Amino acid sequence: EVQLVDSGGGSVQPGESLRLTCTASGLMLTDYWMSWVRQAPGKGLEWVANIKQDGSEKFYVDSVKGRFTIARDNAKNSVYLQMNNLKVEDTAVYYCARAMVRGILWQIFDHWGQGTLVAVSS
């Protein structure tokens, strides 16, 4: 089955850290840009970060710069999101998403993980 599997979410207190993992089965991530997109409860979609095929370029939404780090391990066909100094407003379902076109930077997301919930509260 072709799928992305998101994991690593949980309930934490403000200031704590979590590491999310996105692993693919039945499809390759190696040659594709990858992103994390989040959705706060009852809200819309917000792009969080993306990473180039070889990891040489990474971009972030302003609200997470300096706190979140996106990384990838192509040998493991996986992408990660290290989230430090979490805030209440980071509470959301986090999805990983693959860009549609191999080797191209167009951020059209044709494959999505099922999402993993991150809940930050005191």
Partner 1 sequence: IILTQSPASLAVSLGERATFDCKSSQSLLFDLNNKNYLAWYQQKPGQPPKLLISWASVRESGVPDRFTGSGSGTDFTLTISSLQDEDVAVYYCQQYLITAAVTFGGGTKVEL
Q: Does 50 interact with partner 1 (rule: CB under 8 A)?
A: yes
35 sits near partner 1 (criterion: CB under 8 A): yes
User: Three-state SS across 38-97?
Assistant: EECCCCCEEEEEEECCCCCCEEECHHHCCCEEEEEEHHHCEEEEEECCCCHHHCEEEEEE
Does 69 sit near partner 1 (CB under 8 A)? no
Task: Show the binding pattern over residues 3-32: x = contacts partner 1 (CB under 8 A), - = does not.
Answer: ------------------------------
Taking the C-alpha atoms of residue 93 and residue 67, their distance in angstroms, rounded to an integer, is 18
- How far, in Å, are 18, 52, 85, 107 from residue 2 at the CA level? 26, 21, 34, 20
Please list every residue from 74 through 103 that binds partner 1, using CB under 8 A: 95, 97, 100
Q: Quick one: which of 9, 109, 116, 118 contacts partner 1 (CB under 8 A)?
A: 109
Q: Which of 61, 71, 117, 119 binds partner 1 (CB under 8 A)?
A: 61
Is 8 in a helix, a strand, or coil?
Answer: coil
Scanning 8-16, 22-30, 78-86, 110-118 for contacts with partner 1 by CB under 8 A, the matching segment is 110-118
Which residues would be at the binding site for partner 1 (CB under 8 A)? Answer: 33, 35, 37, 44-47, 50, 59, 61, 95, 97, 100, 105-110, 112-115
